[in-house]
Structure 1
């Protein structure tokens, strides 16, 4: 079909029609014009061979528009030939003069058709093939540019988050909110309600409304402000969202001045700015975003009804009918087959006060429970008026706390819920971060299996939201690298509250939130503060510049460090955390931060996992005792060129237990270090979205224990090393969206244990698969797109249980970190 399509672009529709007429005429005349039988039979044979291809070409050309100028001379010759064949019937047997003349012309026609097919058409097809390649390259260049934009700007986008798939009771508020917003006299609209009422969900629905999208088009900006906003970072996000270079501002005033210029450039097109979750201390920030620009509007969501703003929309809790619908869904009571008395359901729903978050959490906690548990819950709650009559959120926390009843075998699930308080408010938590932390804290020998199960159960019970971004990933091979977890502020507050009931020195998990240089009093009161927590989380903001005070934390097994500064120094007390198993260092600022004191990690005898996000790390050669216990290292959006490029690690003395490496969005990674091929215990190597990586080490075949090799979205990677044939334990190979790979290795069939091959979006991989593919006897699953699936059709019969899963491109921005 592809050949016919290209040929069609050569011969055109007119050629096909004239050819068909000539073919039909010759077929009718050959048995009648006996004088010309031999030459007509030869001509008929030529035409018979071409007829099927030309007929297919003619069908294809009904939907194509190609020039005929390159075949005009042949078309005219065939038209004359058709008339000549008819004349052959009229030539008398004795007329040898006409016979010789007509025979000569028929011979010329046959030779002209053969010459056109053997020479002209091949040359023209070659030219058209080159034109096609040029066109494909242009398309690929556009794709590369889009990927570059995604790399450069998308990771800190102000795109509108998708609203939940199921909502109830918000249709009327949406209509009223939209009506108020579209009034000409409303430049700023405040949407206010208590926490957990659905303010953020409502503004997501507003931004997804067809009428609103039709008015504001691509000029809808969604910014989460939260408790401690950084104005310069917010403005940088707005610039980034419009595809402009991310400027560094000298001050807040400079940021606002440049933002006004940007918005004036966008105008007079309508602009809608959403400032979500504004706290009382940030009300002055709202005023900084107010500009006298035509068709520019702001929607603010807050738990506080700021009196200085004129236009306010109050979102009320759900009415009883809608609350019942949401609760039934959360408790899986929709089918009406439950034995729970309707009276008990009614009482519980009324106790929830119409707050969606409370209904979902309590409904989830009672889902599948017997009637006796429901009655026990009711008995614990006093009868009478709603607990929310006081119009405060403390009662919400109390009620939610009572709903967190975990059975004896779910203690770890409760601990996992409380661990979520380790991360900053309104930030997405990478799913793999939690899996790493929970695996080492609770079940180190289970390799994350139960941690993943707990992640799903917390989401099922509405205590967190697990967002799985790739339909072709997690469902297939437990790929969670691009998935993340979010949590409602109220639930995060509850996790912190439950973790903070004991004295500082007695807490199992300690969360330290430092604003500016204001250290907690307990930290500064004693020179050697003793901490007995297993989990320690320290968060600092962009203005932190103090040196670390000393603490003693000998029992800490998981350390979470959150910061926003351009330079960050690991605390000196880290080197004495002998029980530390996992460290998570995350920069929530806009630019990569320079990380110092990295060598401290080399002294930790039990450190198993390291995750670094958005930092520049020094050469690994500087680590004096190079991480002999380390099992896994994850680098996300890090500058690692210096760390890898200048590194000359003696692997025989270090990294003796390293089994997994994850590198994602590290845009300065051009090549992998040579020492990597000496990490013979490595089982999983995942390098994704590293767009400058062009080649793999030739010695990668030395990684004889490798079970998973993921090279997803490495767009400049042009080929796989031939030495990959030596990876006899490799069971999963993922080259999805590697745009530059044009062929699979010749000896790929020697991957004797390969079970899954992911090759979706490999646009240049269009040629026949290597013959050795049929030797992949263990291959059970190929995940690809429609075009790549065609390559497997001719050889599927050689496999007994091979499934070729065709996945469509799932285009969404959910996987992009908000930062």
Structure 2
């Protein structure tokens, strides 16, 4: 496994700025010589600061003056990056105009050459700030860092590391065997507390393994057999009786409708009556007895023997609940060492590394018996498997953090030893609320929108680089895979432990703010990223005042809050936004002023009531991700949609059967040749030749549903769809549905056969579904060995007219080998004209 090379948080920011300055478009924009002088001056100032970045990053935890200096430097770099993004966008627009109107652009270029560039003064302003910061380094006692290279520059180029997997193994728990059996015994014993359901509070420090112990117990065979119903609800610091009651109902797999607490309580009481249940309320903070009395009212009607487990850091919570306290203590030294040894040595013989074993035991003694701290640090040291690296960790000053810094030093140390890009991506995770389950692709697209994946020369794409960073953060347990399952998706979801979330908030500082509820607090001037949860009907004025805002996530906002006037204000004042989300907001219309957000890279309109998108959305030339899932009133995209030339991920609305909600595809969608995500493509009834638009979309990943293949008249058009070159596609759904009934005849049958033959997929395809196909044979590419990776073919509603029985038996035999199933069960054929 490749090693993670530590780097200062801001060093990759410097690289991004230099790379932007070196781009051809920006050099042409400034006219070469002018820019050379600016670049030279900026280079000198940045490099004079670059030498001290690592030392400043460590000293900021002991010296408030160094922290202020470091934060101001981050603020200036944000502004410098912002200006360069504006210049790059202006340069891109000039280039596009030159291609469409060369004469007009030539005149414009002549004029700009004799006028002052509007960005020069802003760049000079940032240069002055950098010079001031450079002058302060010596007064702050910052010397050239030990990681400076011979030329005096920190190496910030990322090395391409091997893919890693999470080291989270819930079955490997050390030192909790006795506590597990004690807890199981408590859960299995009878109820002697009258009507009230007994509550057991697992109490312990953060990172002690309270949640892990609860999961371990709940998965025990005896517990599963004893309780008829089980539920798990994450509570955390927010406490809303209505929301929690609905979450409990849903966790028990009951529907939960409405906001009326009385009705919800009646439903919950009805569902639990006469049933023996176990519910876990994870991570409780609230000590308000009245709130708990309201929440627990319906739980006294289950069968005798029902139990509630809560996990909490506060004994006061357990006392308020009148519960039995189960105090979870630190692991002893031997168990800590076993845990450390498992993750740090990972199959290596420690006897062959006696010096590492000695150093490792000293490191373990500093972890304070916290399982999370031991495991996280062990996973880090596994990546740095050498005596010098382990010694450096043992002797670092970061074990001794000043009073008032409420962050576990082991987690802080693990963070400090990450590469620069990883640090910046992890800090951005502070925008994730505690207890929030997120998808891997969702987080990577956040990082990409913020420009955190630009330094990826060793990778094929920013997404690949982001996936590598995600895996590295997962490998040290900064990101963990959730064991919650959702019936409507096969996706894996992830979460951050509360202590890790606190660490992310600590390192991001005032640059990231979360707001919960109806009151908007004072937002720091340097804030660049805001997440606003459970928005009320108050104004967003305090947010709009943050002119440099780059990320704004609004969740569950009311229609009043997002009126057209408010939107116009937002889009006119927050023009630096790169990431904007209205997910689950009561939004029915998007105003034209959305086109002002020239730098926007990520727009999430999922689960809104949007009926149409304004044409001005096609002016968002930097847009990379557009999410429209759940927009069931949206049936068409703007006609100029193909102008979104940088679009990479497009999620479209579909119904509960995963059928397309749009009526047709936008014109010239084939020009969006950077697309990696496109859930479906609709072949139009009147324009079946539009299937040719798929020709250049060779970067498509994952799954695509092609609907309306019965509308393809000329098989040559299907050939031009070029499915054979789409090597990243793993799932293909081919639907030959055609609007209106068409009387079958020999020519139509032959045409369908030819079209399907022409749609030869790439050999990397893993899943194939063919529906509504009417032909007299299957294609040659399905008959032979063209699809060696295919493991789950499915035929549905297929009418095989005069089919070739020997051939079909051959196909059955092939699928029998693939699936190891009898030939009569290899595919779904309900509603088909053939019988096996």
- Which 5+ residue runs of structure 2 have no aligned equivalent? 1-167, 513-522, 713-717, 739-748, 799-803, 827-836
The residue that corresponds to 1:345 in the other structure is 360
Instruction: Specify whether residues 660 and 380 from structure 1 end up closer, same or farther in structure 2 by C-alpha distance, changes over 3 A only.
Output: closer
The residue that corresponds to 1:455 in the other structure is 470
The residue that corresponds to 1:703 in the other structure is 721
Is the 8 Å Cα contact of residues 274 and 298 (structure 1) preserved in structure 2?
yes
The residue that corresponds to 1:418 in the other structure is 427
Structure 1 residue 446 corresponds to structure 2 residue 454: no
Structure 1 residue 711, shift from structure 2 partner: 4.5
Hey, what's the Cα distance between the residues in 2 that align with 1:737 and 1:289?
A: 48
Instruction: Specify whether residues 225 and 163 from structure 1 end up closer, same or farther in structure 2 by C-alpha distance, changes over 3 A only.
Output: farther
Map residues 197-346 of structure 1 onto 2, 5 A cutoff.
197-217=208-228, 219-228=229-238, 231-232=241-242, 234-236=244-246, 238-240=248-250, 246-264=255-273, 267=274, 269-280=275-286, 286-287=292-293, 288-290=295-297, 291-293=299-301, 294-295=303-304, 296-305=306-315, 306=317, 307-310=319-322, 311-332=324-345, 335-336=349-350, 337-338=352-353, 340-346=355-361
The residue that corresponds to 1:499 in the other structure is 508
Correspondent of 2:621 among 605, 613, 616 = 605
Is the 8 Å Cα contact of residues 728 and 752 (structure 1) preserved in structure 2?
no
Structure 1 residue 417, shift from structure 2 partner: 1.9
Is the 8 Å Cα contact of residues 629 and 651 (structure 2) preserved in structure 1?
yes
Map residues 486-635 of structure 1 onto 2, 5 A cutoff.
486-501=495-510, 510-517=529-536, 524-525=541-542, 528-531=545-548, 533=550, 536-541=551-556, 546-547=561-562, 548=566, 550=570, 552-557=573-578, 559=579, 561=581, 563-565=583-585, 567=587, 574-584=594-604, 592-595=607-610, 598-599=613-614, 601-616=617-632, 618-622=634-638, 625=641, 627-635=643-651
Hey, what's the Cα distance between the residues in 1 that align with 2:218 and 2:684?
A: 40
Is the 8 Å Cα contact of residues 208 and 329 (structure 2) preserved in structure 1?
yes
Q: Over residues 413-460 of structure 1, what are the superposed CA-to-partner deviations in whole Å (9 max), with x where a residue is unaligned?
A: 222222323333323221222344445631488332222222221111
Is the 8 Å Cα contact of residues 588 and 610 (structure 2) preserved in structure 1?
yes
Structure 1, 510-519 or 360-369: larger mean CA deviation: 510-519
Correspondent of 2:375 among 354, 360, 363 = 360
Hey, what's the Cα distance between the residues in 2 that align with 1:241 and 1:717?
A: 38
Q: Report the 3-state secondary structure (helix = DSSP H, G, I; strand = E; otherwise coil) of the residue aligned with 2:507.
A: helix
Is the 8 Å Cα contact of residues 467 and 484 (structure 1) preserved in structure 2?
yes
Is the 8 Å Cα contact of residues 736 and 771 (structure 2) preserved in structure 1?
yes
Query: With structure 2 as the length reference, what TM-score do the two structures score?
Result: 0.59
The residue that corresponds to 2:764 in the other structure is 732
Q: Report the 3-state secondary structure (helix = DSSP H, G, I; strand = E; otherwise coil) of the residue aligned with 1:345.
A: helix
The residue that corresponds to 2:110 in the other structure is none
Instruction: Specify whether residues 571 and 757 from structure 1 end up closer, same or farther in structure 2 by C-alpha distance, changes over 3 A only.
Output: farther
Hey, what's the Cα distance between the residues in 2 that align with 1:230 and 1:737?
A: 44
Structure 1 residue 220, shift from structure 2 partner: 0.8
Q: Report the 3-state secondary structure (helix = DSSP H, G, I; strand = E; otherwise coil) of the residue aligned with 2:792.
A: coil
Q: Report the 3-state secondary structure (helix = DSSP H, G, I; strand = E; otherwise coil) of the residue aligned with 1:681.
A: coil
Q: Over residues 332-367 of structure 1, what are the superposed CA-to-partner deviations in whole Å (9 max), with x where a residue is unaligned?
A: 266313354444323321221111221122222222
Structure 1 residue 173 corresponds to structure 2 residue 153: no
Instruction: Specify whether residues 767 and 262 from structure 1 end up closer, same or farther in structure 2 by C-alpha distance, changes over 3 A only.
Output: farther
Hey, what's the Cα distance between the residues in 2 that align with 1:240 and 1:383?
A: 43
Structure 1 residue 206, shift from structure 2 partner: 1.4
Hey, what's the Cα distance between the residues in 2 that align with 1:298 and 1:214?
A: 16
Instruction: Specify whether residues 276 and 234 from structure 1 end up closer, same or farther in structure 2 by C-alpha distance, changes over 3 A only.
Output: same
Structure 1, 167-176 or 433-442: larger mean CA deviation: 433-442
Map residues 744-763 of structure 1 onto 2, 5 A cutoff.
746-749=778-781, 754-760=786-792, 762=794
Structure 1 residue 787 corresponds to structure 2 residue 787: no
Instruction: Specify whether residues 282 and 338 from structure 1 end up closer, same or farther in structure 2 by C-alpha distance, changes over 3 A only.
Output: farther
Higher RCO, Cα 8 Å, sep 6+: 2
Structure 1, 350-359 or 224-233: larger mean CA deviation: 224-233
Hey, what's the Cα distance between the residues in 2 that align with 1:426 and 1:715?
A: 39
Hey, what's the Cα distance between the residues in 2 that align with 1:398 and 1:612?
A: 42
Q: Report the 3-state secondary structure (helix = DSSP H, G, I; strand = E; otherwise coil) of the residue aligned with 1:463.
A: coil
Query: With structure 1 as the length reference, what TM-score do the two structures score?
Result: 0.61
Is the 8 Å Cα contact of residues 619 and 642 (structure 1) preserved in structure 2?
no
Q: Report the 3-state secondary structure (helix = DSSP H, G, I; strand = E; otherwise coil) of the residue aligned with 2:363.
A: helix
Instruction: Specify whether residues 738 and 403 from structure 1 end up closer, same or farther in structure 2 by C-alpha distance, changes over 3 A only.
Output: same
Structure 1 residue 770, shift from structure 2 partner: 6.0
Hey, what's the Cα distance between the residues in 2 that align with 1:505 and 1:581?
A: 24
Is the 8 Å Cα contact of residues 594 and 617 (structure 2) preserved in structure 1?
yes
Instruction: Specify whether residues 235 and 571 from structure 1 end up closer, same or farther in structure 2 by C-alpha distance, changes over 3 A only.
Output: farther
Instruction: Specify whether residues 497 and 178 from structure 1 end up closer, same or farther in structure 2 by C-alpha distance, changes over 3 A only.
Output: same
Hey, what's the Cα distance between the residues in 2 that align with 1:643 and 1:271?
A: 38
Structure 1 residue 567, shift from structure 2 partner: 4.6
Structure 1 residue 462, shift from structure 2 partner: 1.9
Is the 8 Å Cα contact of residues 618 and 642 (structure 1) preserved in structure 2?
no
Greater Rg by CA: 1
Q: How many residues align?
A: 591
- Which 5+ residue runs of structure 1 have no aligned equivalent? 1-161, 471-479, 587-591, 793-819
Hey, what's the Cα distance between the residues in 2 that align with 1:694 and 1:282?
A: 55
Q: Over residues 35-60 of structure 1, what are the superposed CA-to-partner deviations in whole Å (9 max), with x where a residue is unaligned?
A: xxxxxxxxxxxxxxxxxxxxxxxxxx
Q: Over residues 200-243 of structure 1, what are the superposed CA-to-partner deviations in whole Å (9 max), with x where a residue is unaligned?
A: 111111111111111114x1111222333555555455555666
Q: Report the 3-state secondary structure (helix = DSSP H, G, I; strand = E; otherwise coil) of the residue aligned with 1:494.
A: helix
Hey, what's the Cα distance between the residues in 2 that align with 1:663 and 1:512?
A: 28
Over aligned residue pairs, what C-alpha RMSD do you find?
5.0
Instruction: Specify whether residues 642 and 319 from structure 1 end up closer, same or farther in structure 2 by C-alpha distance, changes over 3 A only.
Output: closer
Q: Over residues 369-402 of structure 1, what are the superposed CA-to-partner deviations in whole Å (9 max), with x where a residue is unaligned?
A: 2322322233234889xx89x9x9x533444223
Hey, what's the Cα distance between the residues in 2 that align with 1:698 and 1:490?
A: 56
Hey, what's the Cα distance between the residues in 1 that align with 2:549 and 2:708?
A: 47
Structure 1 residue 580, shift from structure 2 partner: 2.3
Structure 1 residue 742, shift from structure 2 partner: 12
Structure 1 residue 737, shift from structure 2 partner: 8.0
Is the 8 Å Cα contact of residues 655 and 661 (structure 2) preserved in structure 1?
no
Hey, what's the Cα distance between the residues in 1 that align with 2:288 and 2:582?
A: 21
Hey, what's the Cα distance between the residues in 1 that align with 2:779 and 2:582?
A: 46
Instruction: Specify whether residues 352 and 542 from structure 1 end up closer, same or farther in structure 2 by C-alpha distance, changes over 3 A only.
Output: farther
The residue that corresponds to 2:396 in the other structure is 380
Instruction: Specify whether residues 710 and 498 from structure 1 end up closer, same or farther in structure 2 by C-alpha distance, changes over 3 A only.
Output: same
Q: Over residues 712-736 of structure 1, what are the superposed CA-to-partner deviations in whole Å (9 max), with x where a residue is unaligned?
A: 7999999997523224563333436
Instruction: Specify whether residues 614 and 197 from structure 1 end up closer, same or farther in structure 2 by C-alpha distance, changes over 3 A only.
Output: farther
